[in-house]
């Protein structure tokens, strides 16, 4: 057998970079041909036999005969880099999309591994938008403008902020739970859910900080509110959870945050609700985009969504829904004073808010393909706790 190439290691050991030079030389010859190794350091006679055995080559003196074994012979391409595949096998695991995956690796268990279950054509755009729109709570909010409100108005703000913290905690935990179940092949969705969880973490921070800006303790947390949010955490189906949380819950929260911004009695409250609403709008947009696409590939989805709304309604039928303290706080904030006429106007504004929430839910359900009457019916079954 002839020697067709040589590898001058220049005094390098195989463990110190010499293997790169030798491997490069072997790429230039065919299996069965030899590469002469020269100028290795004093450990070469020990390292070279072991390296050849590991790489599947045969050492003959100072010549390496290229073996026929190819560790990449059974490799599988993990789809294409630009477009996700319809299904992501467990063998692809954590590999970058489009990479060659060596055979014999571990199998990963990702329940959400089919594109129609999770994909949104808007995911990459929404992720880029979310990454660009991140804001720093320390700099974006005028915390130095400490509110000097009437005590009962400050109490109302604290109660509303307490309520928002509780709801945003659930809105963080839901996407965070599904990130771990999602196959990384659908990286844009994985990234978007991760940013969504980060958004909610930021909302929890600013709502908590506003609640404690003047007071030393937050407000009240009710059993009914906790029960309502627990149904979101207990939903194991990604599509159903997305509908209940993003399309119905966070969609309603967009109306609430806009209401709070318009009726905020101070600059800090106004700014935290404005910035949170910008983030929530992306969450709703992804939920809608994902579910619209899913429904186009799964004729049974709308029936399952309707059943999930009805089941949640039945599960919460015994609860009080929105606690009276939050409702009264919203009335007071909308009223702006204790004058009877102002209170009456504030009450009407909160009722208008509830109608606006209902109309928004119905509109979004229509976008998912529900007939108007059915969308109205399902929207009316949404939890009275808003989220």
Question: What pLDDT is stored for residue 151 in this prediction?
Answer: 97
Residues 6+ apart with CB under 8 A from 27: none
Cα diameter, the chain? 104
The burial class, CB within 10 Å (0-12 / 13-18 / 19+), for 261 is middle
Write out pLDDT tens, residues 267-290.
999 999 999 999 999 999 999 999
pLDDT category of residue 142 using cuts at 50, 70 and 90: very high
Answer whether residue 2 shows pLDDT above 70: no
Q: Which two tokens stand for residue 348?
A: 């009407």
Write out pLDDT tens, residues 19-52.
999 999 999 999 999 999 999 899 999 999 999 9
Q: Which two tokens stand for residue 249?
A: 């819950």
Nearest CA-CA partner of 379 in 357, 346, 348: 357
Q: Structural domain boundaries of the chain?
A: 3-65, 74-109, 115-380
Write out pLDDT tens, residues 302-341.
999 999 999 999 999 988 778 889 999 999 999 999 999 9
Average pLDDT, the chain: 95
Answer whether residue 222 shows pLDDT above 80: yes
Task: With beta carbons less than 8 A apart as the criterion, state whether 326 and 163 touch.
Answer: yes
**Secondary structure (H, E, C), the chain:** CCEEEEEECCCCCHHHCHHHHHHHHHCCCCCCCEEEEECCCCCHHHHHHHHHHHHCCEEECCEEECCCCCCCCCCEECCCCCCCCCECCCCCCCCCCCCEECCCCCCCCCCECEHHHHCCCCHHHHHHHHHHCCCCHHHHCCCCCCCCCCHHHHHHHHHHHHHHHHHHHHHHHHHHHHHCCECCCCHHHHHHHHHHHHHHHHHHHHHHHHHCCCCCCCCCCCHHHHHHHHHHHHCCCHHHHHHHHHHHHHHHHHHHHHHHHHHCCCHHHHHHHHHHHHHHHHHHHHHHHHHHHHHHHCCCHHHHHHHHHHHHHHHCCCCCCCCHHHHHHHHHHHHCCCCHHHHHHHHHHHHHHHHHHHHHHHHHHHHCCCCHHHHHHHHHCCCCCCC
| Stretch among 49-53, 68-72, 74-78, 158-162 having the lowest mean pLDDT | 68-72
Question: What pLDDT is stored for residue 332 in this prediction?
Answer: 98
Task: With beta carbons less than 8 A apart as the criterion, state whether 45 and 32 touch.
Answer: no
CATH number of this structure's domain 3-65 = 3.30.110
- Same topology between domain 3-65 and domain 115-380: no
Answer whether residue 157 shows pLDDT above 70: yes
Write out pLDDT tens, residues 227-269.
999 999 999 999 999 999 999 999 999 999 999 999 999 999 9
Determine the Cα–Cα distance for residues 356 and 157; give it in Å rounded to an integer.
21
Determine the Cα–Cα distance for residues 176 and 181; give it in Å rounded to an integer.
9
Question: What pLDDT is stored for residue 319 in this prediction?
Answer: 85
Question: What pLDDT is stored for residue 40 in this prediction?
Answer: 87
Question: What pLDDT is stored for residue 71 in this prediction?
Answer: 79
Q: Which CATH architecture has domain 115-380?
A: Orthogonal Bundle (1.10)
Residues 6+ apart with CB under 8 A from 328: 156
Write out pLDDT tens, residues 48-68.
999 999 888 999 999 999 998
Answer whether residue 3 shows pLDDT above 80: no
Residues 6+ apart with CB under 8 A from 67: 31, 55, 56, 57, 58
Question: What pLDDT is stored for residue 68 in this prediction?
Answer: 86
The burial class, CB within 10 Å (0-12 / 13-18 / 19+), for 219 is buried
Question: What pLDDT is stored for residue 1 in this prediction?
Answer: 56
| Stretch among 110-114, 213-217, 380-384 having the lowest mean pLDDT | 380-384
């Amino acid at each position: 057998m002839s020697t067709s190439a040589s590898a001058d290691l220049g005094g390098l050991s195989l463990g110190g970079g010499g293997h790169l030079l030798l491997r490069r030389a072997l790429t230039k010859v065919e299996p069965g041909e030899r590469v002469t190794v020269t100028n290795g350091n004093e450990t070469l006679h020990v390292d070279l036999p072991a390296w050849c055995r590991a790489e599947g080559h045969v050492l003959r003196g100072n010549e390496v005969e290229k073996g026929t074994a190819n560790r990449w012979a059974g490799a599988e391409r993990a789809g294409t880099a630009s477009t996700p595949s319809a299904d992501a096998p467990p063998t692809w695991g954590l590999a970058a999309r489009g990479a060659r995956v060596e055979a014999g690796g571990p199998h990963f268990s990702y329940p959400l591994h089919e594109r129609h279950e999770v994909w949104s054509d808007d995911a990459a755009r929404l992720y880029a938008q979310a990454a660009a729109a991140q804001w720093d709570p320390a700099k974006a909010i005028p915390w130095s403008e400490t509110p000097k409100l009437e005590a009962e108005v400050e109490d109302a703000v604290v109660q509303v902020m307490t309520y928002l913290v509780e709801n945003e905690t659930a809105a963080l935990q839901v996407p965070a739970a599904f990130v771990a179940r999602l196959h990384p092949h659908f990286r844009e969705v994985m990234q978007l859910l991760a940013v969504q969880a980060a958004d909610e973490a930021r909302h929890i921070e600013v709502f908590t900080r506003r609640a404690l800006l003047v007071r030393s303790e937050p407000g009240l947390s009710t059993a009914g509110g906790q029960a309502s949010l627990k149904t979101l955490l207990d939903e194991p189906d990604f599509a159903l959870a997305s509908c209940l949380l993003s399309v119905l819950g966070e969609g309603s929260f967009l109306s609430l945050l806009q209401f709070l911004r318009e009726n905020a009695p101070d600059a800090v409250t106004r700014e935290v609700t404005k910035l949170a609403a910008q983030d929530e709008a992306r969450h709703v947009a992804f939920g809608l985009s994902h579910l619209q696409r899913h429904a186009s590939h799964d004729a049974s989805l709308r029936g399952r969504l309707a059943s999930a709304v009805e089941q949640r309604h039945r599960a919460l039928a015994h609860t009080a829904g929105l606690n009276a303290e939050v409702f009264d706080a919203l009335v007071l904030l909308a009223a702006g004073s204790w004058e009877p006429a102002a209170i009456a106007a504030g009450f009407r504004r909160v009722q208008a808010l509830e109608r606006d929430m209902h109309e928004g839910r119905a509109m979004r359900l229509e976008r998912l393909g529900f007939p108007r009457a059915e969308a109205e019916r399902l929207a009316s079954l949404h939890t009275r706790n808003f989220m």
